[in-house]
Amino acid sequence: MINHIYILIVILYPLYMGWDSSDLVRVTNHRLKQEATITQKAFDILKAKCNSCHMTEYERKVFTIENMSKSAKAIHKQVFLKKKMPKGDQIKLTEKEYKVLKEWLLELGVE
């Protein structure tokens, strides 16, 4: 849904404002860089806070930048709904890390 709204805005707003194609390309590239940045930040959190346990306990569920989006719904469920992850008392997510993961999930349309 968010991506559809974004596409409408990206297409219709520039036309309304009389922008040329170079303006549209610049805005689109900026948005793509933002998405890449949030994905990288989310991966850095998953790598640091989740993979340490997953590597020893759940080898087939180790997060990579390539596979993490496939697990987005499960991550949302375990981290935000059930509040079961990360497990234990030693590894905790900071408030900032929660916000980054939430933003990444919202980018993917997972709420």
> pLDDT tens-digit profile of 45-65?
999 998 888 888 776 789 999
For residues 44 and 36, which has the higher predicted lDDT (pLDDT)?
A: 44
Q: Scanning the structure block, which residue is given the tokens 């981290």? A: 79
pLDDT surpassing 60 at residue 2 = no
Q: Where are the alpha helices (DSSP H) in the chain?
A: 2-17, 21-49, 51-57, 72-76, 95-107
Higher pLDDT, 27 or 106: 106
32-43 pLDDT, tens per residue?
565 668 999 999
| Cα–Cα distance for residue pair 33/44, rounded to 1 Å | 16
At residue 89, the pLDDT reads 78
Residue 17 burial class via C-beta count within 10 angstroms: exposed 0-12, middle 13-18, buried 19 and up: exposed
CB within 8 Å of 97: residues ≥ 6 apart: 45, 49
Give the chain's mean pLDDT.
81
Break the chain into its structural domains and give their ranges.
2-107
CA-based nearest residue to 102, from 28, 58, 81, 52:
81
